[in-house]
Amino acid sequence: MSLTRRGVLAFGGTAVAATLLGGSSRAQTRGVTPISPRVDRLPWFYARDHSARRFGALTFRSGVEINDPYPFFGGFSGLWRSPDGGSLLAVSDNGDWFSADIRDDGEGISGLDSAAMAPMLDARGRPLGMTEHFDVEALDVADGVAYVAIERTNALMRFDLREGGITVRGEELPAPPEMRTWARNKGPEGLAVAPPASPVAGALVVIAERSRPGADSPTQGVIVEGDRHGVFEVARSEWFDITDIEFLENGDLLLLERRYRIFRDIGARVRRIPGETIRPGALLDGPVIFEAGARHQIDNMEGLASHRAASGELVLTMISDDNFSILQRTLLLEFVLDGA
């Protein structure tokens, strides 16, 4: 079900409707706020060749820049799209939800409808932005339940969206002890629930941005639950940090990586990890299937999601974290993964 205003109402019923109308008495500083983002389509992806569409194993489908004057808009680090691609849900560094319905004109994203933002709430009803758990960096949704990872405290939370949409209170999940050793600002950036085809089916998989210093030092990941619970490592190279992960239907794992060195360069890439290699004790690595740099329409790319288009194509969507800076942009980019 779409987790936008329509989906929120479906999940949360009259209580959510009251919130949308400003009638809720819940203990929070903000409720659900409808917004009307301006969406500007990107006419090209590569500055040197505006007609270029193919980049590695990905074909550029569409892209937009999104702006809104709402003061809490931006900083999006985690992304999910509904199975049909008709809606999106994102989480921000300030601990806010962003939901919207996606308009598609047959050539890609053309606009956003029924957009709304709301503070993410802890078990006591407090906005996460007013607690230590404010830095939300990763998101996945499975069977109507949203799982998020919080970088500053290396914490995991669960939100049952079926019980109230984006107004629901979350609960903290027991985090594996290994996560307690991750640096406060380099902790969990990638989170996903393994699909049925995965050898760790149903398990929550979490990967740190950079669990130890060094340009090419491996970073740590954790299979949080299931029969194959345990710790693994992921190879890193060329100053790229992991910013999100996404499972494919066959169990393979995609890694979204970001290189962002101020006044030097910017980069984004995607690696594909064979699903059968995901196990405790493994050092995961795989080929780069996409890479972009300063001459491409990218920014600080931090969120990755996938869905099946009506055509049957597998569409990957990336979102950028603008760090609430006027020098950066909130971009939403779509690519088709070849042969998927």
What's the pLDDT tens digit per position in 281-335? 999 999 999 999 999 999 999 999 999 999 999 999 999 999 999 999 999 999 9
Q: Is the pLDDT of residue 227 over 80?
A: no
Band the pLDDT of 229: cuts 50, 70, 90: confident
What's the pLDDT tens digit per position in 140-149? 999 999 999 9
Report all structural domains of the chain as residue ranges with CATH numbers, in order of start.
Answer: 5-337 (2.115.10)
* pLDDT score recorded for residue 8: 35
* pLDDT score recorded for residue 261: 77
* pLDDT score recorded for residue 133: 86
Average pLDDT of the chain to the nearest whole number? 90
Q: How far apart are CA 12 and CA 7, in angstroms?
A: 8
The model's pTM is: 0.90
Nearest to 6 by CA among 133, 157, 114, 167: 114
Band the pLDDT of 29: cuts 50, 70, 90: low
Contact in structure between 151 and 209 (CB atoms under 8 Å): yes
- Pairing outcome for strands 230-234 and 283-284: parallel
Mean pLDDT, residues 83-104: 97
Q: Percent of the chain having pLDDT more than 70?
A: 91
